[in-house]
Structures are given as structure tokens and as C-alpha cells.
């Protein structure tokens, strides 16, 4: 990648939205706790080195025996819940206001409104997802050559792939708006041989690349053995499943399921 990869995307808004959801859940839990709380409040007073507790309801105070820790605990929890609820609600209001105002500011507008000629002369501080994906996809590469024995299988956008399962993966990525490259060459950092992952996918949310290898004949021992070696090579080169590597598998008894592919794509690229 060129210099436009030097900045990671703005992660503040997703983090704030996640925080708002956490606060909302905490508020709901606290309110539920308060609905189960007893009436009144807890009054604690010292008597020498000891203390005693009273249950105050409508300005009437009744002594609580030390054996009745359950009541004392519920009243103390009520006191805490009331205090923390106001703090949580205040924080949520601040986060909501910030998100609303933050969304109204578009740092990409100045660049997007420029003419294409002017854009070509400018290096923006940060690229929009669309522009980043366009530049990422525009970087040319030479994939593996198809042999004469290879079936002519095409994706929805007319791209040639090697298996029906790869058609499913490619079309799912395309429908869900995930940029990808098919069999883009990769040379491991240790100077090893060049490999051709089935798909190299771009997570626009994090601006990170994921490799996707589909292992399509796992019920054949020789193929499975080679697949294990391939996975080991990826691991040794820093590619870990779930972090920057996706592994999907199938056998003759359990073919690749389109719904499973969709779940993988949504979990990794859209959450």
C-alpha cells in the first residue's frame, strides 16, 4: 500500500456508540434493581465502636437487627443504585449529544467536493471508506493462471474463480460491500515463497486486510494434510485465524453453506 494507508480510520464514533449501548444496558439493569428495592431508606449511625441501622419509611424510623443483613443490604443497594443511576444517565446524555454533533461534521466533504483534477494533486488527511476502497482495489496485481482443465466458473460480477464455493464467498462479499481481491499474491515476511490466498479482504472499519482460505476437500486425506501444512505456514508468518485470517472448510458430506459464509462476513467485517 502507498502513503494513504498511514492513517487508521476514525474509530472514535464506533467506540462511543458501543459505550452508549453499555450505558443504556447499565441504566436498564439499575432501574430493574430499583423496582425490586424495598420502600424507604437505610440510616446508619455509630454507637461507640459499633454502628446500628434503621429502616426509615415516611419519616418513621425502625431499628434493624444485625441478624437482618438481607434488608440492610437491599436498602444499601437501593442507595447506591439511585446515586449511580443519575451518573449513568448524565453520561449517556453527554455521549448522545457528542455523537449527534460529531456525525454532523464531515471531514471528507472538502476533498469529495474537489474536481478529479484537483484531487489528483492533493493527499487528503484521511480518506472516506469509498475512496480508500477505490484506491485499495486499484492497486494492480497478477494472480495465478488458470489451466486449461480448470472449469469456467464466474461470480456475479463476471470474475473467474476455481470452485462453486468460491463463487458463494465472492458473491457474499460483493453483496455485503466488502472489497476483496481474488488470488492476490503474498510473499511472507521471512522471504519465503509467494502464496496466493483465495481472497484478500479489506475491513473498512479498521482498514486492515484479512486473508481468506477456503479448504474445500477436507474428506480427502492428502488434501487435508496439505491444508494443515498451509495453515501452519500462515501461523508462522503471523496470520492467525480470527485476527487476520479466515478459514472456511467443507467436505462432500458437509458442503459450504451460504448462510455460514454470511455469518462469517457479518461478524468480522460489519460488527
Contact 88, 23 (CB under 8 A): yes
pLDDT reading at 132 higher than 50: yes
* 50 confidence band (pLDDT: 50, 70, 90): confident
Output the CA–CA distances (angstroms, integers) from residue 202 to 101, 183, 256, in the order listed: 29, 14, 22
Contact 215, 250 (CB under 8 A): yes
pLDDT reading at 5 higher than 70: no
- Please report the pLDDT score of residue 190 as a whole number: 65
Domains of the chain from N-terminus onward: 12-103 (no CATH), 141-269 (3.40.1350)
- Please report the pLDDT score of residue 91 as a whole number: 96
Q: What is the mean pLDDT of the chain?
A: 89
Contact 67, 16 (CB under 8 A): no
Question: What distance in Å separates the CA atoms of residue 98 and residue 92, rounded to the nearest whole number?
Answer: 10
Of 147, 16, 154, residue with least CA distance to 92: 16
**Strand residue runs (E) in 99-138:** none
Contact 9, 206 (CB under 8 A): yes
147-201 tens-digit pLDDT:
888 889 999 999 999 999 999 999 999 999 999 999 999 988 766 788 999 999 9
pLDDT reading at 1 higher than 50: no
Average pLDDT over residues 47-55: 85
* 10 confidence band (pLDDT: 50, 70, 90): low
Question: What distance in Å separates the CA atoms of residue 157 and residue 154, rounded to the nearest whole number?
Answer: 8
Residue-by-residue DSSP string for 190-223 = TS--EE--SEEEEETTTTEEEEEEEE--TTSHHH
Helix (H) or strand (E) holding 249: strand 245-249
Longest CA span, the chain: 95
pLDDT reading at 271 higher than 70: yes
Q: Which of 24-33, 250-259, 262-271 has the highest mean pLDDT?
A: 24-33
pTM metric for this prediction: 0.63
- Please report the pLDDT score of residue 38 as a whole number: 95
- Please report the pLDDT score of residue 63 as a whole number: 92
- Please report the pLDDT score of residue 2 as a whole number: 43
Contact 256, 250 (CB under 8 A): yes
pLDDT reading at 3 higher than 70: no
pLDDT reading at 24 higher than 60: yes
104-117 tens-digit pLDDT:
777 777 888 889 89
- Please report the pLDDT score of residue 7 as a whole number: 44
**Residue 127: exposure state from Cβ atoms within 10 A (0-12, 13-18, ≥19):** buried
57-98 tens-digit pLDDT:
998 999 999 889 999 999 999 999 999 999 999 999 999 999
Amino acid at each position: 500500500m502507498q502513503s494513504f494507508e498511514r492513517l487508521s480510520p476514525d474509530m472514535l464514533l464506533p467506540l462511543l456508540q458501543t459505550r452508549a449501548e453499555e450505558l443504556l444496558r447499565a441504566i436498564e439493569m439499575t432501574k430493574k434493581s430499583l423496582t425490586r428495592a424495598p420502600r424507604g431508606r437505610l440510616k446508619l449511625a455509630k454507637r461507640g465502636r459499633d454502628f446500628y441501622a434503621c429502616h426509615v419509611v415516611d419519616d418513621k424510623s425502625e431499628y434493624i437487627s444485625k441478624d437482618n443483613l438481607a434488608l440492610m443490604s437491599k436498602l444499601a443497594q437501593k442507595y447506591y443504585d439511585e446515586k449511580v443511576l443519575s451518573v449513568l444517565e448524565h453520561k449517556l446524555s453527554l455521549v448522545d449529544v457528542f455523537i449527534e454533533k460529531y456525525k454532523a461534521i464531515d471531514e471528507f466533504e472538502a476533498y469529495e467536493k474537489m474536481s478529479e483534477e484537483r484531487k489528483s494533486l492533493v493527499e487528503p488527511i484521511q480518506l472516506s471508506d469509498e475512496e480508500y476502497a477505490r484506491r485499495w482495489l486499484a492497486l494492480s496485481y497478477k494472480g495465478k493462471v488458470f489451466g486449461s482443465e480448470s472449469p469456467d466458473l464466474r461470480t456475479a460480477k463476471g470474475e473467474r474463480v476455481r470452485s462453486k464455493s468460491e463463487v458463494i464467498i465472492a458473491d457474499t462479499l460483493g453483496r455485503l460491500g466488502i472489497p476483496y481481491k481474488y488470488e492476490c499474491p503474498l510473499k511472507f515476511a521471512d522471504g519465503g515463497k509467494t502464496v496466493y490466498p483465495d481472497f484478500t479482504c479489506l475491513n473498512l472499519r479498521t482498514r486492515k486486510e484479512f486473508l481468506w482460505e477456503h479448504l474445500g476437500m477436507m474428506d480427502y486425506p492428502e488434501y487435508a494434510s496439505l491444508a494443515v501444512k498451509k495453515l501452519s505456514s500462515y501461523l508462522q508468518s503471523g496470520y492467525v485465524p480470527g485476527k487476520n485470517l479466515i478459514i472456511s472448510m467443507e467436505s462432500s458430506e458437509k458442503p459450504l453453506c451460504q448462510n455460514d459464509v454470511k455469518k462469517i462476513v457479518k461478524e468480522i467485517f460489519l460488527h
